[in-house]
């Protein structure tokens, strides 16, 4: 019961709710029309598929009606209902009908229309009676004597005296003040519950879409990071590294002149500076290669990993069959996983040889296998470099599996999605 009846009657929300319930009748008639058209189309399907365009049209109208209902709830009830995915309609009637028949949201919208027809009849009738009956009986003392029989029959109650008429008018006033707002609120709650249940997308569908959005955003972030790494590598190669090379060459010319002049003390200082410049060039080249090796961009995984194998202190066999080339981000992850794994082999495994095998499968996945014949016992849970590999692989929605029994051999298997 409202504590302040006059405030409840003057509340804009109450009258918006009443108007919303009154419009339920119109929405129910529209839903009934869509259901009738859909039923006719289904009945005509056996007749050389004559009803197929009717069914597709009814499915489109069903989706548009659901969208209109969501708009109506937002406008009159301030209820924001998330939009459901649109059916994938195309010029092919068969494909469109299949998309409608297999879409979960289509069946939810159909269920809403089926429920809306009786619910709209209930809410429209109830809200009309909640206001019309009290407003009709409230002025009863003024007109009951003017009726043909000079009395009013209200069920078992007969109004033929001013006292009885005033009593009925008072009850009507109390009903208008207390009962009608409660009826409107109860009917609106029923209406909103139906809309929340059937007009909103399923919860698992929302979660699926959210996961897809997060996966796409993560892929974009990984691609952006990889592009930034390539830019930094180019800047280091074309900028600082070239300048250091020029400095080293100038120092070399200075050493030659100092050697001819016989100034050995100055020549030794300049030679030391030249050696330091060469070390800086080597370190800068290694840093740039660690960011993103140019050979990976230019020639792909096979050439880049062959260069890595050539520098490895442990003999490494490389077998790469990854055509067509994977995306740049996936290719970079595969490269760095192999390089870090081979670094771990050289430092910790005590292996006599290692091997790398990369395949691009028919299901658009890239599998990377790194193995060695070392002592084994590698465990990603112990905080070794393998945990960093797992984190790098997870960044592109991949999976890493390590098999390393004591005594070896150790196998690192990585599965990356190329699509």
pLDDT tens-digit profile of 376-396?
877 766 655 677 777 778 777
pLDDT at 34: 92
Claim to verify: residue 218 and residue 333 sit in the same structural domain: no
Return the pLDDT at 126. 87
pLDDT at 152: 75
Give pLDDT, residue 3. Answer: 55
Which residues, 6+ apart, have CB-to-CB distance to 379 below 8 Å?
A: 386, 402, 404
* pLDDT for the residue 82: 85
User: Does residue 326 share a domain with residue 212?
Assistant: no
Tally of CA atoms within 13 A in the half-sphere of 215 that contains its CB: 10
Going residue by residue through the chain (419 aa), what tens digit of pLDDT does each one get? 455 555 667 778 888 888 888 889 999 999 999 999 989 888 888 876 778 888 888 888 998 999 999 999 988 888 888 888 777 777 788 888 888 888 888 888 999 999 999 999 998 888 888 888 888 888 878 776 777 777 777 767 777 777 787 887 888 777 777 778 888 888 999 999 999 888 888 776 666 666 666 666 666 666 666 666 666 666 666 666 677 777 778 888 887 877 777 777 787 887 788 787 777 777 666 666 555 677 777 788 888 888 888 888 889 899 988 888 888 878 888 888 888 888 888 888 788 889 999 998 877 888 999 988 888 877 766 655 677 777 778 777 788 888 888 887 888 888 888 86
Please report where in the chains the tokens 């007969």 appear, as a residue.
158
Q: What is the pLDDT of residue 1?
A: 46
Find residue 399's DSSP bridge partners: 415
CATH code, 315: 3.30.565.10
For residues 302 and 368, state if they share a domain. yes
Burial class of residue 11, CB neighbours in 10 A (0-12, 13-18, 19+): middle
Q: Which alpha helices (DSSP H) does 87-154 contain, by range?
A: 93-102, 104-137, 140-143
Domain limit, last residue, from 164, 198, 232? 198
Q: Are residues 180 and 227 in the same domain?
A: no
In this predicted structure, what is the pLDDT of residue 290? 58
Q: 27 and 96 in one domain?
A: yes
Cα 130 to Cα 73, 123, 125, 154: the distances in Å are: 21, 10, 9, 16
pTM, to two decimals: 0.51
Determine the structural domain holding residue 368 and report its residue range.
Answer: 295-417
Instruction: Count the helices and strands in the chain (H runs, E runs).
Output: 15, 7
Among residues 269, 291, 313, which one ends one of the domains?
291
Q: Could you tell me if 336 and 355 lie in one domain? A: yes
328 and 226 housed in the same domain: no
Q: What's the pLDDT tens digit per position in 161-208?
A: 777 878 878 887 777 777 788 888 889 999 999 998 888 887 766 666
Residue 22 and residue 164 in one domain: yes
Which of 242, 259, 291 lies at the terminal end of a domain, its last residue? 291
The confidence score (pLDDT) of residue 86 equals 79
Cα separation, 21 vs 17, in Å, equals 6
Q: Specify whether 351 is located in the same domain as 258.
A: no
Where do the H-state alpha helices sit in 262-384?
A: 264-291, 294-299, 301-311, 328-344
Q: Are residues 285 and 301 in the same domain?
A: no
Q: Is 13 in the same domain as 73?
A: yes
412: region left, alpha or beta (phi > 0 left; psi from -120 to 50 alpha): beta
Per the structure, the count of domains in the chain is 3
CA dist 153 and 26 (Å) reads 33
**Calpha distance 43→69 (Å, rounded):** 27
Distance, in Å, from the CA atom of 84 to the CA atom of 48, rounded to the nearest integer, reads 32
Q: Please indicate, yes or no, whether residues 189 and 229 belong to a single structural domain of this protein.
A: no
- What is the per-residue pLDDT for 235? 63
At 208 the pLDDT is 66
């Amino acid at each position: 019961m409202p504590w302040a009846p006059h405030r409840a009657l003057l509340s804009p929300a109450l009258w918006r709710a009443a108007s919303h319930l009154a419009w339920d009748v119109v929405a129910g008639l529209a839903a009934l029309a869509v259901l009738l058209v859909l039923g006719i189309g289904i009945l005509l399907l056996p007749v050389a598929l004559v009803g197929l365009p009717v069914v597709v049209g009814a499915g489109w109208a069903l989706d548009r009606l659901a969208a209109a209902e969501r708009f109506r709830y937002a406008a009159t009830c301030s209820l924001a209902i998330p939009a459901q995915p649109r059916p994938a309609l195309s010029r092919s009637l068969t494909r469109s009908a299949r998309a409608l028949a297999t879409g979960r949201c289509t069946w939810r919208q159909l269920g809403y229309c089926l429920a809306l027809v009786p619910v709209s009849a209930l809410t429209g009738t109830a809200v009309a009676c909640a206001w019309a009956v009290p407003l009709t009986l409230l002025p009863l003392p003024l007109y009951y004597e003017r009726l043909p029989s000079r009395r009013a029959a209200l069920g078992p109650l007969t109004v033929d005296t001013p006292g009885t008429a005033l009593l009925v008018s008072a009850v009507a006033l109390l009903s208008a003040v207390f009962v009608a707002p409660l009826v409107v609120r109860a009917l609106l709650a029923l209406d909103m519950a139906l809309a929340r249940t059937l007009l909103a997308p399923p919860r698992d569908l929302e979660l699926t879409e959210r996961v897809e959005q997060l996966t796409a955003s993560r892929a974009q972030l990984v691609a952006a990071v990889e592009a930034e790494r390539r830019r930094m590598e180019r800047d280091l190669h074309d900028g600082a590294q070239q300048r250091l090379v020029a400095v080293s060459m100038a120092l070399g010319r200075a050493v030659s002149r100092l050697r001819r002049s016989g100034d050995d003390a100055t020549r030794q200082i300049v030679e030391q500076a030249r050696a330091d410049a060469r070390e800086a060039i080597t370190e800068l080249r290694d840093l740039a290669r660690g960011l993103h090796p140019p050979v990976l961009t230019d020639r792909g995984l096979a050439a880049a990993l062959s260069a890595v194998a050539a520098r490895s202190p442990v003999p490494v066999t490389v077998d790469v069959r990854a055509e067509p080339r994977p995306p740049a981000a996936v290719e970079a992850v595969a490269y760095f996983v192999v390089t870090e794994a081979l670094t771990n082999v050289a430092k910790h495994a005590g292996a006599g040889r290692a091997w790398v095998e990369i395949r691009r499968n028919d299901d658009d996945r890239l599998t990377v296998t790194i193995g060695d014949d070392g002592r084994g016992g590698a465990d990603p849970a112990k905080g070794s470099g393998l945990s960093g590999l797992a984190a790098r692989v997870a960044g592109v929605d991949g999976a890493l599996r390590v098999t390393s029994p004591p005594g070896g051999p150790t196998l690192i298997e990585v599965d990356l999605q190329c699509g």
